[in-house]
Structure 1
């Protein structure tokens, strides 16, 4: 008799038809499903298996029960086992429509066991209605612990013996090379059960499991108060983001990094309540009706992770600038270059900016409904903060790359810097009594030289005719007065020509620097001692002290020597600056560029385009619509603009499609009794008001008409003419009755007149003019451009009727710190 032990689904008999007791007694509680020879063509072959003996029910090493709260588990078990009206229960969660896919009246609970992939068995299609794959995935995931999700249960190879042959109405769960948990029946006897019962049990299993998931989600978000917990942690995170915004505005990346990390920690706490479910199951719940709370919390957790990553990038940015001081010393040794440092800074900030952009997208996809009403304001603040932070960080990244490109060209790059003194106003910011030349070679600072502009101007061999308003104070034109044009690119090209003519060297760009940048830097790094002059220069005394030294104390043969000596001392002080100070300096430079205290012009088109896009190229605005720009030039008024207050008032009315403006310029000279004599002198100013081409001057009141005479007869002197200046001069049309000269510059009309203010006095000039065809088509646009270097403490602008219906007027009152674009909808 064969020693093979087998499992029978019928009683064995011998050749005589009697029960074969010996074969029956040989059956053991071990299954051997080795393939036997086919005895009948209609019999299904059993799959070939191993012959190793093992227990039928191997002990599986299961992960710990995540629902370790006894009360919650008991409530959960009760919910699973009670008789339930499915329509009523599912209606509570808004998913009753899913019953349309399920048979009625099914009750039961599933059993689960490991099923190994089988290649020999062909799945038999279910004869059921609907697809339960979504719920099967949920059921499978419930039994995966987050700590054990990546490992399969340790089961001996003979677990395969426990695998049943599928019968009709069943489909084996097949998954490549791994165990999965799926509902199925386990039996020692391969006896078929009624088809209807199998379908009834499985359907009930799926429905109850779906209810369990929804009830579980409801317990988490309602019964456990997770919503309020998330909101409280989110509010703390928002406070940290507000701190980060303030730090970023100061370019304090190190502090901003700490704020981001604290915000992350608070957001991360909000997600702890979801951790036990695992990423996959919470994702599945989020896709179900009513699952938006889960998705929103997942978003908040992800926001926290992005904040941490952004904070790490900020830390890297701070480290990059930690050694920036070494780069400020001309000819310094070492492999680091300015472009390499700036590109590292750019990359760090770009990573942070991308993280913040992702955060903005997650916030837009987060349901504010999960936030309690008393916390909604904090959530809204978060949504409002992120775009601002993104803008600040993105701007820092862009500027870092710009500085890398400006200093990192192969070979030698030489830039001319004009130190313009806004105490003596000129069209692009101030009179440039001193200049500097900064030289970069292969990305390293090679030289920084400071000189007196009059030293260069003395090298001109062929004198050039100066602008008309200057001819009574200077016989010729030089680089000192070459910033005559309101359009900085135009002035910069003239300045370049003068510098090459006077020095013999070309430059690749021109920059202007207002003293406000130097005073801002001194606020950061502290005072600079100059013992040879018995001076200590700080942010408060820098401008008047240097001016006093140059005007009255210095050797008259070298009046600007104090500035030449100040430059290397300042660079040495910068060398010792720490990372936080360099971050503040970086921010200060950008801030001064944004308010036109620093202007730049480049031969390189990409650099000039960036300057134009960011607004520090200083060009006359060329957009459509109405336009006005008052420009003041101090002509032999010493340093009086430092103590002269300037205010503007503009009232605009509409007559048909024309705009009729009344512009009032008021200047109050507060000098006269100052200890510095250069603040007590008369302040003659030549004012030009740029307006759209075709503008008609209706009237002017209060302007001066002095009888200034040129120092030379230029027709007989044989001086050369500058082509750019000659074009401006030949466009001039003077109205002798009003004392106004009309020019053309940069596509604009320009009204020029004198406004002379004595010390201790106030002077006002009022112009009335008409701009045709700018108030039509429903919208009206006016661009008020501010002159660089000019401080406007008060500006009053009224367009149309500000008190009328919405969109019919515009009103502004306050300091004018930058250009002001105005747009209104006409009635």
Structure 2
């Protein structure tokens, strides 16, 4: 019948009449059998045909038992089908004829899950036997490959010759012997000898490179030049040897435990050569900077910058070579050290790239294009204000070609400008507790430093009738950093010492209790100390230059130094490097938080305040986000202690995403109304302030002042903390956006067409207030049907339906990101 399945004859054992084996392998006692009844098709006697071949993820490897006779065809049977056998697809991976080994190693091509092999015929089970399950079939195949008879007979041979490492080595040596005339063993031995020789010869090169780098760090130019020349010579010698051994390196690539090791070490040598070349160009720039006739600081700086610019490509190439090296191929005892050095070198390259990008900006800042005047604002974080601390002192500095032309530190501090200010304007409302008129010393009201700087320049211009090219805010903690590098400042006249541990407290005592205060020159000590400290920096030992640069960079990152320049191009560069102290913009669906404290009439009590911020964001099933922020302030001062044991009076502001809705707030304490001073009626409203603080209104329930500033919503209220006590305030608000799920398709959807995920993203940006000592923690909570998928951010620990940020010191602006799925 057309279309009917043809019944196939199934061969059986002539001894026991069972399928799956033949008479030669039958476990039953042998019986006399007529030879004419034997199966003619011996080539298939060890396999049982199935309806499908199994799918495999790796090549099948097995042994084929060679026989020394040919199968015989019975004259009574006809083969009516064209048969394709599994063995037809098997190819030999070693020579076809092997007189020494009884078994030949074969490997079948990988099968990509076909429904059935092309050209094969599905077999029906015999009348008296049911079709076996795939699991049983696999067991039969496994038995064929790893059968007891094979294992027992050939276990010694397999153990000796076909262990994982030996098999790879033998295959490689066989391949070498086929391709290369002559004994493979001699090449292998030559390769090992070459490797050992190269390693030994490269030691001098690496040592010279280390000497060159150390000498450069210590500014020992003579030693650096000598070590650099020696390193270049040594590296070139080793690399020439490698070039001569190119053939052996090719052979090494196929030998286990040799090729990878030698290749990695060669890359280390190449990276070392690149670093040495980079050091040479950097050294050349430094030497040329010292040989300039009548050099200015900016001219010398420009020459050094040229050296950095020239050396940078070599350092970058070395960094790329390091990235390609697998540390696992190196000796175990050197792996951790190499990985640490790789990270260190990458950071060094980044620093050089930063300096290279900053080159033009640095020359502009240091007066390379003409004289520049800057206002230096000294802030005391012990009396915290929005940008870092109360601005009790300031200086005017003029710079040209990198040299300080003039430095003026008024002995009376910022109060010296009070009598010179020609404008009378009302201050921000909270400042009325200290002054009815807005003046220079209170200019740093805005946490966005560029805005504060512009207002500072406004006050200076309306006091001196001159302008400046920029404002640099320097916290008192920077003085402690400097003294840790240059050493203590000894004031013989006053009989005191300023060191890195006690400088702020010592200065504060002199300013508040010293004899100069009686003659309205409380800041005279700064005028006396500044020139001496600058002189110490200029005469700094070469070994301390790099630590000085590192600590200044750290101060910039942590907003202990904030800079603003009126030149737009320069300021844009400063913004890009994160040194401007600005309030960062946030994306439409990004959570944001900045807590800003302003100590008003609380003396220096912030030195004794420890603050913690606890944040929580709860995502509702509809995507609404309710955020809660709890600020805890503990006063560790002793009541009655001068300056530090005073009541801490803090106007606290919370900056959150623009459009956030305040739901509740609690824990506030208002100062006595009698403490506020009413401005004169004829004082003008400040237009600049009105442009910054918009949409001002009070929350009727809590008295919280709500404004819109810097594209953020601001909640402001009072927190008063007595010595030995703890205050805690809480804000709860609804974010202006919803966390919405987006359907993301898996890359395998084209195959399975049903696997899809809904993903939602939450991101939190937290900015640190300059000068604050704060710890931060947070919890992000999603509905229970959501699960964490991905996270990024320091200290972020995943939970089943969200994440937790463990309490941590908030020392810089930080972003945390979380992706949830359901």
Q: Does 1:560 align with 2:523?
A: yes
Q: How does 1:617-656 map to 2 (within 5 A)?
A: 617-624=580-587, 625-655=590-620, 656=622
Change (3 A) 1:409 1:273: closer
Q: How many residues align?
A: 610
Give the structure 1 partner of residue 23 of structure 2: none
2-side partners of 1:284 and 1:222: how far apart? 11
1-side partners of 2:522 and 2:477: how far apart? 21
Instruction: Structure 2 unaligned segments of length 5 or more: list them.
Output: 1-93, 99-175, 743-759, 791-801
The offset of 1:610, in angstroms, is 1.6
Change (3 A) 1:562 1:364: closer
Query: Which of 766, 770, 778 is the equivalent residue of 2:734?
Result: 770
Q: Does 1:721 align with 2:724?
A: no
Change (3 A) 1:346 1:273: closer
The offset of 1:382, in angstroms, is 4.6
Q: Is the 8 A contact 2:657 2:736 kept in 1?
A: no
The offset of 1:813, in angstroms, is 2.0
Q: Does 1:697 align with 2:662?
A: yes
Give the structure 2 partner of residue 824 of structure 1: 818
2-side partners of 1:220 and 1:230: how far apart? 15
1-side partners of 2:782 and 2:208: how far apart? 41
> Per-residue displacement from partner, 1:292-334 (whole Å, max 9, x unpaired)?
766544322211212323444565687799999xxxxxxxxx8
Give the structure 1 partner of residue 268 of structure 2: 300
1-side partners of 2:451 and 2:233: how far apart? 55
Matched residue of 1:739: which SS?
coil
2-side partners of 1:626 and 1:208: how far apart? 67
Q: Is the 8 A contact 2:202 2:238 kept in 1?
A: no
Change (3 A) 1:357 1:560: same
Q: Does 1:600 align with 2:563?
A: yes
Of structures 1 and 2, the one with the larger relative CO (CA 8 A, separation 6+) is 1
Query: Which of 797, 809, 823 is the equivalent residue of 2:803?
Result: 809
The offset of 1:397, in angstroms, is 4.2
Give the structure 2 partner of residue 458 of structure 1: 419
Q: Does 1:226 align with 2:220?
A: no
Give the structure 2 partner of residue 791 of structure 1: 773
2-side partners of 1:526 and 1:814: how far apart? 31
Q: How does 1:318-397 map to 2 (within 5 A)?
A: 335-366=294-325, 370-372=329-331, 376-397=335-356
Give the structure 1 partner of residue 154 of structure 2: none
Q: Does 1:686 align with 2:655?
A: no
2-side partners of 1:825 and 1:235: how far apart? 49
The offset of 1:441, in angstroms, is 2.7
2-side partners of 1:405 and 1:87: how far apart? 76
2-side partners of 1:213 and 1:503: how far apart? 92
The offset of 1:652, in angstroms, is 1.8
Change (3 A) 1:796 1:718: same
2-side partners of 1:234 and 1:721: how far apart? 74
Q: Is the 8 A contact 1:671 1:760 kept in 2?
A: yes
The offset of 1:467, in angstroms, is 0.8
The offset of 1:414, in angstroms, is 0.6
Q: Does 1:753 align with 2:735?
A: no
Query: Which of 627, 634, 654 is the equivalent residue of 1:668?
Result: 634
Q: How does 1:235-254 map to 2 (within 5 A)?
A: 252=217, 254=219
Q: Is the 8 A contact 1:453 1:480 kept in 2?
A: yes
Q: With structure 1 as the length reference, what TM-score do the two structures score?
A: 0.66
Q: How does 1:188-337 map to 2 (within 5 A)?
A: 211=181, 218-222=188-192, 226=196, 229=199, 252=217, 254=219, 275-276=240-241, 278=243, 281=246, 285=250, 296-312=264-280, 335-337=294-296
Q: Is the 8 A contact 1:267 1:304 kept in 2?
A: no
Query: Which of 416, 421, 430 is the equivalent residue of 2:380?
Result: 421
Q: Is the 8 A contact 2:289 2:303 kept in 1?
A: no
Q: Is the 8 A contact 2:597 2:653 kept in 1?
A: yes
Give the structure 2 partner of residue 780 of structure 1: 762
Give the structure 2 partner of residue 167 of structure 1: none
2-side partners of 1:737 and 1:239: how far apart? 70
Matched residue of 2:435: which SS?
coil
Give the structure 1 partner of residue 757 of structure 2: none
